[in-house]
Structure 1
Amino acid sequence: MIGTIFRTFGRRYMDVSLRAGADYVVRIVERPGLWMEDAALAALSADLRQVAARTLDAGSLTYGVFSGDKSRMEAVIITLVSRRDGTPVAFNALAVMALDTAPHPTDVLHLGLVMVDPDERSKNLSWVLYGLTCFLIFFRRQFRPVWVSNVTQVPAVVGMVSEMFSDVWPSPNKGRRTLTHLLLAREIMATQRHIFGVGADAGFDEQRFVITDAYTGGSDDLKKTWESAPKHRDARYNAFCQEALDYTRGDDVLQLGQMDVAAMRTYLTREVPKSAVIGLLLTGGIVALRRIVLPAIHWADSTQEWGHLRPYMRRNR
């Protein structure tokens, strides 16, 4: 935890670590392409490829963090789960999408590519891979709601996102498509397809938020059959995906929701193991310090520069 404190205060972007139970260590690295040294960035990419090699039966991914382009690491937040001996076993490459919306731009966290070593599945890592980073960003934004997006054809993921976040659409749960949902979805499909490996020729059904023929932009090896797609324990989500998506063609659903106070409460009470709640809240507090406490300290110190603010200099007489 001490290392987390020093790294958090010493850098503009997050680089935090915490334990997830007795067996795992989680590291969250924000926008590593902007600040991480080449050797460290190469080591991080190697860890991601190691997990991917264990996950994919054949083929390779050619988009996002697997493209070999450092610039692709400039707008991502990597959540890497490793065993205590340092062996990487799972990751989430969450993308930060800045959407050109009126009256001001909207940042959307795309839940991104998630991969888990087959030997580590069913070990309750979903709270780390899908909600943890969004939770910490929510803390750092001083509890302002954070929009999140998800593109998938996996019923288990559709259900998890529907239950973890607020105002999720589409979902078999009671909910509605708002104008904000529609405008964000249009902007995502117009400008952000490369984030989730969907080609320009893929269609988008605005009524159902279904991307048709989605696996044509570098994500081909992620395409699943209905039989191979992991199912959710709640049959509603399985029925929803089976009815909405054409698995032969290769369709995805685009979900949009929010991390807000209600979602945070649900996340802490239903998703996070009780043994990890205190450590998670402490980590969230540390991450939030730079946005809440430090600005107040800087503001009170009139002798130091801070951003565009400059100290008053008395003229010599």
Structure 2
Amino acid sequence: MTADFSKPTATSPYTSFPAEIREMFEALARLFDGTATLNMPGGTIRWNSTNKRFEIYDGTSWGPLTDQFNMNVSNLGHASPGNASGNIPVSNGDRCVNLVADKLDGLEASQFARRDISALMTSPLYVNSSSAYAELRLRSDVTQKIRANLNASMSTNTARFSVYNDAGDSYKYLEIGYDGSFAWNGTTVLTDDNSPTAAFTSGDVPRQMISLTDMTDNTFVGVVVERQLAAATNAGTLVCVNSTGQAAPADADAFATMPAIGIQCWAGAAGTVRPILVHGFFRHTAWSFTPGDILYASPVGGQTISTPPNGSGDIVQAIGVAVTSDIILVNPSLTYFEVA
């Protein structure tokens, strides 16, 4: 069927006239879908069942009538809107309820699970009206509390963080100023130009010293460097740097295995990288020195001794001082000599 908008004409044969009219009506009845219609005027609208859309003719070609339709439907994909099982979820004003989905934005539902913060808190937000601060108490165990507070006694443009004792009845605080200053428990310890302003003593201000009684076996404090191990060695081994740059047990028998540069802090296999203490304090409970002894590299590889080696060809190098029976101040001397 071919409808033609240019027909019938005044000169059309009478016998063709009914067919031309009928073809035009049939094309209109089908909304021009699947018809070969000629001479259509611009602005003609048709339904295209192949593209499943209404289209408009611009005088040359067909295009979509619009990119959006405002349609009120009761079902979509044989499902109706609602919150019951099998419904298409709809908003109740602030949320969709009964919405079950395998994933949201590619993430499993378990990643959106809620956590009860109350289990981490000793109390909800606590307001102390007499001291004029608000406090959110979190805990790392049952009794310890950490609080960040805003207190009437605080300096201008500062933030204060307080730490409770285990009993929860006393605390000390760190105050940080916008200008970069620090104060511990009301005493300024660092000004805005990073200059210390108070003595660092135990209890009232942060300490820069180490308490030797706090050190346990194979613990250390000081300057460390990382080196690859030449052989499997234990913590507490006195090491030198070999010709390939690895840390190897220092041996006072020969210059090739000297000088010692420090103490190996952790045990490790050959090829692993471990920290070497080149200056500082190291505790090794297997040691048994007399406090105050000057310590030396031993002719037995990796060991530290309190008497200088005296064999012919031995290398004498002081590597530190015994502070306690099992804690030494590591400070290898680069002045050493060979025993004749």
Q: What TM-score results when the alignment is normalised by the length of structure 2?
A: 0.16
Higher strand share: 2
Q: What TM-score results when the alignment is normalised by the length of structure 1?
A: 0.17
Q: Of the two, which has the highest radius of gyration?
A: 2
Greater length-normalized contact order (CA 8 Å, ≥ 6 residues apart): 1
